[in-house]
Amino acid sequence: MQPRQAEAIRARLRRLADDPAAPGLDVRPLVGRNGFRLRVGGWRVIYTVNGDAIEVAAIAPRGDVYDR
């Protein structure tokens, strides 16, 4: 992962943590399992919400992340 992409993902995760309902986050619930996906360009962040905590399960390119 390029440093620029890593920073973009960190920034989007900070925004998600500050306001999970913020417009423009591009969050969708996962189909067939618990959790959500956050799209950041060609990368996906798979996470769950546990109380006030966001638990990241995976960060991977779009084609690879759903197999985990």
CATH of the domain at 22: 3.30.2310.20
**Residue 63 predicted with pLDDT over 90:** no
Please indicate, yes or no, whether the overall pTM of this predicted structure exceeds 0.95.
no
Number of H helices, E strands in the chain: 2, 4
With CA atoms as reference, report the closest residue to 39 among 28, 55, 50, 23.
Answer: 28
What is the domain range of residue 19? 3-65
Residue 55 has a pLDDT of 94
What total number of domains does the chain contain?
1
Q: Residue 53 region, left (φ>0) first, then alpha (ψ -120 to 50), else beta?
A: beta
Query: Of all residues in the chain, what percent carry a pLDDT higher than 70?
Result: 96
